Every structure is written in structure tokens, then in C-alpha cells.
Chain A
Amino acid sequence: MSLAQLKDATFEQIIYEDEAPCLVIFSRKTCHVCKEIVPLLEELQPKYEGKFGFYYVDVEEDKVLLQKFSLKGVPQILFFNEGVYNGKLSGPVEEEQVEEKIEEVLNA
């Protein structure tokens, strides 16, 4: 299943008001590394259904969000819990690294 896309407004809602544990991948269509990582997250998503959210931001469409986190490249997976930024993973990552990080956020 594809990841739900967040826009500037929905980002505020989900991350800071709902405060649910989740990850957000910042990505763009022309980035080949992103094309490897997005499907990896899509495959992982069902396993965490109801426990951990998976979202997607297109940096070309939402420059504001990009600037907010002063990101310097894609793809980057940002982790949040209780409305607080919990670190990120950059570049090409393995499935195990993402799972480890999810566990870390959930158990923090």
C-alpha cells in the first residue's frame, strides 16, 4: 500500500496535535535512492498497522517543511513521537535499520 502523503497543514495535525508515533520520509520523484527506500517502507507499513504511522512528504511540493527541518538532501526518514522529533535516518538504509529505529522510538 502506498504511504499517505502529508502537506504542510496535515503535517501539523498528525505530528503535533495527534502526537502519534510515526515516521515521515522526505522524498522526491527524481531521486533514485528515494525510489529504493519508499517501496521498502511500503512493505514494512502493514506490519506496524495501528502501532506506528508511515507518511510521505514530497519536498518539491512542500518546501516549507523542508526548511523547517533544514534538511540537506533526500531521502531522509524523520521519526516522531508525542509531538517530539526523535531523530532521523539519511540516504540508503536497510529494512533492519528502520525497524530498529521504530522499536527505539516505541520503547523510549
Chain B
Amino acid sequence: MTDNYDLIIIGGGPAGLSASIYGGRARLKTLVINKGTIGGMPNTTREIVNYPGYVNISGPDLMKDFKKHAESFGVECLKDEVVNVDFSQNEKIIRTKKNKEITAKAVIIACGSEPRLLNIPGEKRLRGNGVAYCATCDAEFFEGEDVVVVGSGDQAIEEGMFITKFARKVSVVVLHDEGILDCNKVSAERALNNEKIEFIWNSTIEEIMGEDNVERVRIKNLKTGSSSELNCQGVFLFVGMIPATNFLKNSGVKMDQKGYIPVNDLMETNLEGVYSAGDNRVKYLRQVVSAAGDGATAAVAAERYIEEMNAFNTNVLQSNKKVLLTFFNALNNESLEFCTQLEETNTELSESYKIVKVDMATKKSLAQQYGIEKAPSVVVLDKGQEITRLDCYGNKVNLKAQLQVQ
């Protein structure tokens, strides 16, 4: 059995939940599919101080509010992972890890991003034995020990400072020249003045070593090319994020080299009825507030698209009368005059046709679907099936003759 929805949202972080609030409120049958804990990345954040309306709130608490809000509009949530999609038809097909197949008229991709791995020797093997990715979870295990932190973004520096509460010394390995950190200024200043933090500039790590537990790392200086070893018991890696869009590889959704999805102002991807919102799209600022904004935009755009699709179904494909699907260009006088002539002719034929006008400029995809390249063009449909096309370049007599034949 397959389930059908109006709108499916892949990912239940800030972007996905915001989209679902708009979808639910617009009375679309809306499903959020999210692997793991609903709420997404903020679940890993101790405090959020820049989401409007909340001076200071923990990430999980903020996301609980998002979820409650979505549920109040009747949104359904499914805990599962999307592993495969088929966006080639009007009905989009989503397949999940638990072998569910679900369809929707429109899909919003809001799967966010995941931590990047360094893929260096020792990283996988010593995970949980000194290699860690979460200070809140694991910092305490390094009481009185030496820890290496790799990275200099907000997360690396803030987590690094948290680790100093437990560790004897924290060495932060930074790619850049002395004094340059990627994080915000407030944190940078605090970290640079923290006595327990030592910085290793112009460097990265090449290998994590140790028999059963981490014993040391090999550090490479990028300026001199030389390597050195540093003894430590823990290594925390915060080397950025990558979009979680791998499952879309063969979907036809356009992505950039890194896997981010480019969209326009409406969050539309290159595929009709498929939108992308939040951290997984190409964008300038990746934060909760901007993810929420994206979600709202995508949901409203999806709602309009679904409405148009439904209208097209009832007005055109299921019409009792034959339909003259008329493509025109509002900026072109000739095609506007043609529309008037067509209306007049139809009146003379006692309205035997239903005329549906399509503006080429705004309904590009429909034009594409019928292979229309210039305006005016008319496709004659009977019960949704194309029966012929009109020659639009003769006079009215010619037009009437064509319509009488049908």
C-alpha cells in the first residue's frame, strides 16, 4: 500500500518544521519524514541566543516548541530515513529505509547537513576511544588529560572552551596564520585569553595514533611541510559540515560540487514541485532563523504549485467540453489580439469550447510539457488528451473553419 500526501518534507529540523507549520495551516496533507530525533541540529546545541523572541534557550527546548507548533496544525511526522526518490512524474515517489513508499504532489528537501569526517588513519578505529565529535557528551571523560581540538569555527572554539573545564590542556589545531580564527569575535577573544588553550597555527592533523586508546596525533605544518607528534588522550574533530544530500545523487535535482542545492527566490530547485530549504541549499547564512524563513517560503511556493496543479486537473484534464489550451504572451500585442479573436469565434460557435489561457512567462513548465515555443499557440484537448493544434496565423475565418472541423 502506498500513502499519498499533498506535501512531503524530508527532514525535521528548523527548516522542515517551519515548512510543515505553513503546510499544515494551509490545510495541505503534510508529512515530515525525519531520521533520528525530531528538531535536527539544534538538538546538539547547548544554548541558542540569536533566535528572535528567545533571549536564551537550549536547542532541544526550542525545537520542542517548533514541533508542538507543527502538531497543532495537524502535521504528521514519520521517523524514518529517505533513501531513494523518484521525481520524474507529477506524483513524486519517496522510498524509506523501512521500505515504505509514499507519494506527494510536492516535496521540500530540508535534510540539513552532517559533520564532515577528516578520513585520516585512526579516526574511525579510535572513535569512542579518544576520538570524539561532541564535547557535551564526552568532555568529562578527559578529566585532567591532554586534548587536541581540530578546527576554528564557532563550534570548534566554543566546544574547545567547554572542554577546558575538564581537561588539563587543550591544543587547538588551526589552518590559518597566527591569530586568525573562523569563529565569532566574542568567542575568539575569550579563547585567545584562555590559559588552558594553546593554539597550533598553520596546521592540520594527518594521523591519530594509539593501540587501544588515543595516545598521540601527528600534526602537519602547512607552511613548512614538516610533521611533528603531540601526545594526547583525546581528539575532538570539528571540521565543518557537508550537506546530507547524498541520497539525491541520481534524482535529477541539481547540486553544486559540494552537494548543496541551488534554488531561486521561491526555493524552487531545477525540478518542478521540488523545493529545497535550510542548510542543504546554496546560501549565505546557515542559522535557525534563516532556515525557518526558507521553510516558510518553500511551503507557500509549494502550496501555490499544488493549487495550480489541482486547478489544471479540474479545469482542463477533467473538463466535459473540449478545451482550447491557449498559450499567450502578455507583453506581445499580436498574441493578445489573437486571444480576443479566439474568444469571439468561440462565442459565434455558441461556446462549444472552453478556453483556458496560459501566460507563457509565468507557466514555463506547462509550456515545456506541451513543447510550446512561441505565442500564440493553441492545443485542443478532449478529456485531457491532445487531439490537435491550431494554426494561429491565419484570419478569423480560417480560425473558425479549424474549430468547426473538430
Chain A residues in the interface with B (C-beta under 8 A):
28, 30-36, 66, 70-74, 76, 88, 90-91
Q: Which residue of the partner chain, among B37, B127, B132, B234, contacts A35 with CB atoms under 8 Å? A: B37
CB-defined contacts of B132 to chain A, threshold 8 Å: 72-73
Cα distance A71–B132 in the bound complex, in angstroms: 12
B347 within 8 A of A: no
**CB-contact partner of B128 in A28, A35, A36, A91, under 8 A:** A91
For A30, the chain B residues whose CB sits under 8 A away are 136-137
Given contact pairs A35-B37, A66-B141, A71-B128, enumerate 19 new A-B contacts (beta carbons under 8 Å).
A31-B138, A32-B43, A32-B44, A32-B134, A32-B137, A36-B37, A70-B213, A72-B128, A72-B132, A72-B138, A72-B142, A72-B233, A73-B127, A73-B132, A73-B137, A74-B138, A88-B128, A90-B128, A91-B133
In angstroms, Cα B138 to Cα A34, docked, is 11
- Point out the residues of chain B lying under 8 angstroms from A31, CB to CB: 134, 136-138
Q: Which residue, B127, B132, B137, has most C-beta atoms of chain A within 10 A?
A: B137
Give 7 closest A-B pairs by Cβ, nearest first.
Answer: A90-B128, A31-B137, A73-B138, A32-B44, A36-B36, A73-B128, A90-B127
Are A72 and B43 in touch, CB under 8 angstroms?
A: no
- What 1/0 flags go to B116-154 for Cβ under 8 Å of A? 000000000001111011101110011000000000000
Closest A residue to B132 by beta carbon equals A73
Residue of B nearest to A34 (CB): B137
| A–B complex contacts, Cβ < 8 Å, 21 sampled | A28-B137, A30-B137, A31-B136, A31-B137, A32-B37, A32-B44, A35-B37, A35-B43, A36-B37, A70-B213, A71-B128, A72-B138, A72-B234, A73-B132, A73-B137, A73-B141, A74-B137, A76-B128, A88-B128, A90-B127, A91-B128
Distance between Cα atoms of A76 and B138 in the complex (Å): 11
A70 to B211 CA separation, bound complex (whole angstroms): 14
Give the distance in Å from the alpha carbon of A28 to the alpha carbon of B138 in the complex.
10
Q: Total interface residues on B, using CB and 8 Å?
A: 20
A34 to B213, CA, bound (A): 21
CB proximity of A24 to chain B, nearest CB, Å? 14
Within the complex, what minimum Cβ distance (angstroms) separates A64 from chain B? 14
Q: Which of A28, A35, A73, A90 has the most CB of B within 10 A?
A: A73
Within the assembled complex, what's the spacing in Å between the Cα atoms of A91 and B131? Answer: 10
Residues of A within 8 A of B214 (CB): 72
A29 to chain B, nearest CB (A): 10
Report the minimal beta-carbon distance from A40 to chain B, rounded to whole angstroms.
9
Contact between chains at B37 and A71 (CB < 8 Å): no
Residues of chain B lying within 8 A (CB to CB) of residue A35:
37, 43
With CB as the reference atom, state the residue of chain B lying closest to A26.
B128
- A66: B residues at CB distance < 8 A: 141
**When each residue 44-63 of chain B gets 1 if its CB lies under 8 Å from chain A and 0 otherwise, what string results?**
10000000000000000000
Question: In whole angstroms, what is the CA distance A27 to B138 when docked?
Answer: 10
> Which residue of chain A has its CB nearest to the CB of B138?
A73
Report Cα–Cα, A5/B381, bound state, in Å.
68
Q: Which residue of B lies closest to A74 (CB)?
A: B137
0/1 per residue, B82-123, Cβ < 8 Å to A? 000000000000000000000000000000000000000000
Q: Known contacts A30-B137, A31-B137, A33-B134; is A91 also within 8 Å of B127 by CB?
A: yes
How far is B142's CA from A70's CA once the two chains are assembled, in angstroms?
11
Measured between alpha carbons, how far is A76 from B132 in the docked complex, in Å?
12
Query: Given the complex of chains A and B, what is the CA–CA distance between A71 and B213 in angstroms?
Result: 9
In the complex, which residues of chain B have a beta carbon less than 8 angstroms from the beta carbon of A76?
128
**Residues of the A chain whose Cβ atoms lie less than 8 Å from the Cβ of B44:** 32
Residues on the A chain within 8 Å of B141, using CB: 66, 71-73
Query: Which single residue of chain A is at the shortest CB-CB distance from B142?
Result: A72
A76–B43 Cα distance when bound, in Å, is: 20
Cα A35 to Cα B37 in complex, Å, equals 7
Residues of B within 8 A of A32 (CB): 37, 43-44, 134, 136-137
User: What residues on A are CB-neighbors of B136 within 8 Å?
Assistant: 30-32
Q: Which residue from A28, A72, A74 sits with its C-beta under 8 Å from B213?
A: A72
Of the candidates A31, A66, A70, A72, the one having the most CB atoms from chain B within 10 angstroms of its own CB is A72
